[in-house]
Structure 1
């Protein structure tokens, strides 16, 4: 029954919101790598990455994830701690696995491919791999790779490549809920947190070494070091993590973000300064209305995309590929998203939109998800619901006929 419902959704998506990638590309041969300003496969064929973030899968965010109907819990850490306190660590992990298995599955990756996309960016955080009470190598979870392996296998089966994005380092890099644990920004001054994050990257890179379904590793999502932290301090930590990855995996690309300070490529060094090779420089584009007072949102979105394209052009001498790892037009009306992707395509910028799937308030479409609910779907209250109720609520979030394509992504 679920298969029949999902076929209906696929058909509606195919004729609905976007033909996002401008022309189908052949499936990549071998591991992708950077060559000048392009991303190419082992045969030297250029592959422009165009795709979706899998937001909310491993890192829950209250504005887009069905994590807590009471709205008390604001991050993945809080959800997992509450569940562990009530049911024990093993049963808590099993409940979170139910959520993850239903939020994104093989059929979702197949749909992403059918919609013309060839890449996904997968936000992860340290709590997916390490015991919450012991964020050290000795706290490694036996099931650390289980859910991520499932998604990577689906990507390989459907000709999609994955960028593994460290959305939350040990100790936290910004204090925001999207790091997995809100209120933590200790990474910058905590050598233990830095060393454990480097160890974690070695473990991840070693696990996926040689896997052609992995495009590469995004070292730190949207770092927000404390005031007074110099760019050079951020660069040195990037370099530490880059070298941790390279010690375990010499072949996959490393993605390095400019998403701090001015959020422009001026925040990054020329790659030769640190001897970085096979790297991709990454930007995020969000045309927040408060940054564009009095300007129509569609105009602001197009202008923001053009600014990113010009920034990439201004740094052409660095000879690295450019990638818009996250972006959203922040406009529920059709058209603005397409204007942004056309700007990126014209500049030969790779991109993954934020985000593939999002919850909303009672079936009212927002601009966040490529697919969103078209009717209310029950959410759990992890603090009060019994174990069975939590499991059944999260099972209802599997992609089926209750989800529709979002016109905002046209």
Structure 2
């Protein structure tokens, strides 16, 4: 454990406040602008996204060494067409068990963090050729329950994040299926997504290990559509669907569309939303800060988020930085960003806990990254045993260590 904690100095020194907080008891809920446990103790959330786990992304996941397959859907379709559904699902489940296991959750908890955000998508709950109630998978909750149980064991909480709704909420491959963005104009996709959220909420409604539900990750209605109206309507429908099954858990609502600021969200009183957390994402891309060094862009982005939260304090909701990165900067930049979030009493989860570069080498995306060259399969041509063997090699223990880019 120590090699992960001391190898990345910035995270080792920044989570003393995480360690000082008592572990949650009962279902977390909001109290004004704070998140509290059943005993009324403030529970500021700090941790990581479990990126690349259920939702494969080509820039950070060992999904396909040829880079032909660009999303989870293409991997699953390829495997099913070659080996049949049962073998395909076993292979994907093996990938998932290798990428994140109990040891990873233990490592996060021992380093002083108290939360993980878990990106999920509809294809892990429904047959990829039948995204309706009739396509419900018998193993829909198997791996998600496994990691929620690990979180319970190690005293941290999980935010379930819908990274990919039925039909897709953007063109991005991080929805599970690139090039879709059909959700906004497809009533059947909207209904299927609402039904799916109802199943998830019913499954976890009495589980205090689950902090809450992030309804739609980074919604991006097509150009020409009134984005605020479309997103607010979708949020309200999904909010009410979840509340019908689970009146207890927090609901997370993202501003990550349009201007990527809290101005994209309505005051919660407009729709009667309660026990909600408002969420922002921060990626200080150089293209958005022309002529500014990367470190300065990251620090400016953090300051902008803090100022944005301050301007909306009268909404009386907790603010959560659900995803952020200092990108390719020194540890001091990460430290500055996190210190500013903490001083402003913002909740946060870094993107991401675990990652690799396209060529299998470390980059700045993961808290832990590979230390040795690891095999990656070609799902389009390799036999099932080769795919199984290659994906089995991606367990964190023995092959990953603290990201040297963050030392």
* TM-score, structure 1 as length reference: 0.96
Q: Find out whether 1:149 has 2:149 as its counterpart.
A: no
**Aligned partners of 2:295 and 2:329 also within 8 Å:** no
Provide the rounded CA distance (Å) in 2 between the counterparts of 1:407 and 1:250. 43
Provide the rounded CA distance (Å) in 2 between the counterparts of 1:210 and 1:81. 35
Provide the rounded CA distance (Å) in 2 between the counterparts of 1:254 and 1:135. 24
How far apart are 1:406 and its partner, in Å? 1.3
Describe the SS at the equivalent of 1:197.
Answer: helix
1:267 to 241, 248, 264: 264
Counterpart residue number, 1:15? 6
Describe the SS at the equivalent of 2:127.
Answer: coil
Deviations 1:32-80 (CA, angstroms, capped at 9, x unpaired): 0011000000000001000000001100000000000011000000000
Which residues of 2 match residues 25-174 of structure 1 at below 5 A?
25-174=21-170
Counterpart residue number, 1:387? 384
In 2 relative to 1, CA 386–213 (structure 1 residues): closer, same or farther, beyond 3 Å? Answer: same
Provide the rounded CA distance (Å) in 1 between the counterparts of 2:114 and 2:2. 19
Describe the SS at the equivalent of 1:110.
Answer: helix
Counterpart residue number, 2:282? 285
**Aligned partners of 1:53 and 1:123 also within 8 Å:** yes
Describe the SS at the equivalent of 1:142.
Answer: coil
How far apart are 1:149 and its partner, in Å? 0.2
**Aligned partners of 1:362 and 1:376 also within 8 Å:** no
Counterpart residue number, 1:188? 184
Provide the rounded CA distance (Å) in 1 between the counterparts of 2:398 and 2:283. 30
Deviations 1:325-350 (CA, angstroms, capped at 9, x unpaired): 00001124322111111111011100
**Aligned partners of 2:59 and 2:358 also within 8 Å:** no
Provide the rounded CA distance (Å) in 2 between the counterparts of 1:305 and 1:334. 15
Count of matched residue positions in the alignment of Structure 1 and Structure 2 = 401
**Aligned partners of 2:166 and 2:193 also within 8 Å:** yes
> Which stretches in structure 1 are left out of the alignment for 5+ residues?
1-9
Q: Find out whether 1:329 has 2:326 as its counterpart.
A: yes
Counterpart residue number, 1:320? 317
**Aligned partners of 1:332 and 1:366 also within 8 Å:** no
**Aligned partners of 2:162 and 2:217 also within 8 Å:** yes
Counterpart residue number, 1:7? none
Deviations 1:335-378 (CA, angstroms, capped at 9, x unpaired): 21111111110111000000000022556321100000012110
Q: Find out whether 1:404 has 2:401 as its counterpart.
A: yes
Counterpart residue number, 2:254? 257
Provide the rounded CA distance (Å) in 1 between the counterparts of 2:106 and 2:296. 33
Provide the rounded CA distance (Å) in 1 between the counterparts of 2:277 and 2:15. 20
Describe the SS at the equivalent of 1:98.
Answer: helix
Choose 98-107 or 22-31, whichever is displaced more.
Answer: 22-31
Describe the SS at the equivalent of 1:131.
Answer: coil
Q: Find out whether 1:377 has 2:374 as its counterpart.
A: yes
What is the CA RMSD across the aligned residues, in angstroms? 1.0
Which residues of 2 match residues 345-384 of structure 1 at below 5 A?
345-361=342-358, 364-384=361-381
> Which stretches in structure 2 are left out of the alignment for 5+ residues?
none
Which residues of 2 match residues 290-305 of structure 1 at below 5 A?
290-305=287-302
* TM-score, structure 2 as length reference: 0.97
Provide the rounded CA distance (Å) in 1 between the counterparts of 2:359 and 2:83. 29
How far apart are 1:409 and its partner, in Å? 4.1
In 2 relative to 1, CA 99–115 (structure 1 residues): closer, same or farther, beyond 3 Å? Answer: same
